[in-house]
Amino acid sequence: MSTVVNDTKIPNNVDLSSDKRLQRALEAWQPNFLSWWNEMGPFGFQKDDVFLRTAVSVTSEGWANFDYVKMPDYRWGIFLADPVPDRKIGFGDHMGEPAWKEVPGEHRNALRRIIVTQGDTEPASVEQQRMLGHSCPSVYDLRNLFQVNVEEGRHLWAMVYLLHTYFGRDGREEAEALLQRRSGDPDKPRILGAFNEPCTDWLSFFMFTFFTDRDGKFQLLALAESAFDPLSRTTRFMLTEEAHHMFVGETGVLRVVDRTAQQMAEKKLDHVDQVRAAGLIDLPTMQKYLNLWYSLSLDLFGGEISSNAATYFATGMKGRAKEDQFEDHKALDSSYAMDVVKDGKIVREDVALRNAMNEVLRDAYVDDCQRGVDKWNRTIAAHGIPFTLKLPSRRFHRHIGIYSGVHFDPAGNLLTAEQWEAKKDEWLPSDADNEYVQSDAEARLRSEADGQLDRRAEAGHQGPRRRFEIAPPRSVTRRPAALAEPAVAARGASGATSAAGRASVARRTAPRARLDDRASERW
């Protein structure tokens, strides 16, 4: 086996060492992946040692190994959850038949499309977030960011494994194309809209990990039901990692909300200007960011009425999240009552359930989002601030599906184009809001880029090595209840604890001159 592709370099439970075809495919792909990572991965941190979780096996000991690693040396592995003996297809026309170990020719193209679409989101998010390290509010966040990034990289590997193993030459070409598209590049955009949106500030990052990664969770849950067993096993394992990403988003937003509400209460701030003057993100702005990322993420589920969704379900390629919780796994004779726009009015229509599968999945997603928003609201309320964050109507600000091309307010009422134009800045981040949230981010980035040059020079000599770490949460499978005190520690040359940057997360009043200076913070 080559030096690039072996069981040590690439931890796996797919018997890579005896799979010649996979070895050959990965030998060609892996160097390109590394080039992509170096070009598009976290900017300016590729030479740093970062304390990261690496999965080296699927056992309870193996899936979360923590150690210092330079990100380009991260051991991206290939893992499938353990097989379920005699697994049967759990829904659709083939229900009860044995799950597919190989791709049925009939569904080859559609399955490949599903996998490519999922796979495309993984590198896309890394690209979207590549500059965030330079404006991060704390080393805790920095480490979380990188953990999310390397795991998105691993999820790319997971999808590429499927493409390489089951889809022949086409699969190899698609795997290559996953490294060629670029988030936000009009020439080579990523496949899905939300993954081409800029994510250049930490508020957006937290919203992204809360809302957009949560779409990922539900897509993976639906794919975990797939009749194509390798896809099911791969996605089941990915779900264990996805939980942390959403934890980052949920707690990230929570910290911002908490800080703002707490300061508002303490300093008796009630006007937005006062809140901003105190260097905080005001709650109405939070609502706007929520509106934006929630609506962009809703689009990711696809059209409300979809023949593809019906086909995917009928054939067994993609089920519903937690399919076993439903009673009727054929979903052939039921319908789904959906609000559709007809002649300028919203009317309720019955849609064949299979054609409404995207909406069924979206329902589960909306409920899950609401649970997180409720937590944020409890925190605001605990400070006695009379403000409630709300998920807007799912008709609001949509670009895909039956509500696209029509305008709605956050309550879901129809608007004319003029009404929308007049009001949209009240509902979505305006240029001024973006500017406020990102204030002097550019200057910061520039200074970081300068710093980067310094550090490169440093790296060639024996400059101090900077290492960042955050002790792993006590249990990552279970969401820690106590968010206020993430255990933060630092070691190495930059071990000094700093109180700087405590004021606010996204406002980033943290000093930014040197990474060393913001080695550790607490909230």
Name the residues that contact another protein, by CB under 8 A.
93, 109-110, 113, 177, 180-181, 186-189, 191, 307, 310-311, 313-315, 331-332, 352-355, 405
Residue 190 · residue 183 · CB < 8 Å: yes
Radius of gyration of the chain (CA): 23
Find the shortest distance in angstroms from Cβ 93 to another protein: 6
Nearest to 122 by CA among 88, 94, 83, 154: 154
CB of 171 to another protein, least distance (A): 13
Q: Which is nearer to another protein, 247 or 312 (CB)?
A: 312
Among positive and negative, which fits the CA dihedral 188, 191, 193, 194?
negative
In Å, what is the CA distance from 351 to each residue of 97, 286, 308, 336, 338? 27, 35, 14, 5, 7
Name the 3-class secondary structure at 428: coil
Task: Tell me how far, at minimum, the Cβ of 174 lies from another protein, in Å.
Answer: 10
DSSP state of 299: H
Rounded to a whole number of angstroms, the minimum distance from the CB of residue 335 to another protein is: 9
Where do the H-state alpha helices sit in 396-463? 417-427, 431-437, 441-460
- Which lies closer to another protein via its Cβ, residue 94 or residue 383? 94
CA distances (Å), origin 186, targets 96, 118, 329, 484: 45, 20, 41, 41
CA–CA dist 109, 299 (Å, integer): 23
Residue type, 34: L
Nearest to 365, CA basis, from 289, 293, 257, 287: 293
Rounded to the nearest whole angstrom, what is the least distance from the CB of residue 115 to another protein in the complex?
13
Q: Using the minimum distance from each CB to another protein, give the nearer residue, 256 or 310.
A: 310
On the CB side of 206, CA atoms within 13 Å amount to 23
Residue 85 vs 96, nearer CB to another protein: 96
Q: Which is nearer to another protein, 181 or 455 (CB)?
A: 181
Do 227 and 316 touch, CB atoms closer than 8 A? Answer: yes
Name which of 307 and 419 has its Cβ closer to another protein.
307
CA distances from 156 to 124, 208, 254 (A): 10, 18, 29
Q: Considering beta carbons, is residue 117 or 240 the nearer one to another protein? A: 117
CB nearer another protein, residue 332 or residue 382 = 332
Residue 331 C-beta: closest distance to another protein, Å: 7
- Among residues 331, 377, 333, the alpha carbon closest in space to that of 357 is found at 331
Least Å distance, CB 9 to another protein, is 28
> In terms of DSSP H, where are the helices of 328-416?
357-382
Cα–Cα distance for residue pair 457/451, rounded to 1 Å: 10
In 3D, which of 426, 428, 130, 379 has the Cα closest to residue 252?
379
We find the least distance from the C-beta atom of residue 403 to another protein, in angstroms, to be 13
Residue 101 to residue 103: CA distance in whole angstroms: 7
Sole residue written with tokens 């955050």 = 470
> Which one, 48 or 127, has the nearer CB to another protein?
127
Query: Smaller CB distance to another protein: residue 79 or 195?
Result: 195
Shortest Cβ distance from residue 126 to another protein (Å)? Answer: 17
Q: Residue 333 Cβ, how far from another protein at the closest point, in Å?
A: 9
- Look up residue 359 and give its amino acid: E
Q: Are 492 and 467 in contact (CB under 8 A)?
A: yes
Give 414's contacts (C-beta < 8 A, 6+ positions apart). Answer: 341, 344, 345, 346, 406, 407, 408
- In the complex, least distance from residue 313 CB atom to another protein, rounded to whole angstroms: 8
Task: Give 86 or 343: the residue with its C-beta nearer to another protein.
Answer: 343
Q: Residue 402 or residue 470: which is nearer to another protein going by CB?
A: 402
Alpha carbon 415 to chain centroid, angstroms? 31
The tokens describing 209, both together, are: 């990990």
Considering the complex, what minimum distance in angstroms separates the CB of residue 366 from another protein? Answer: 23
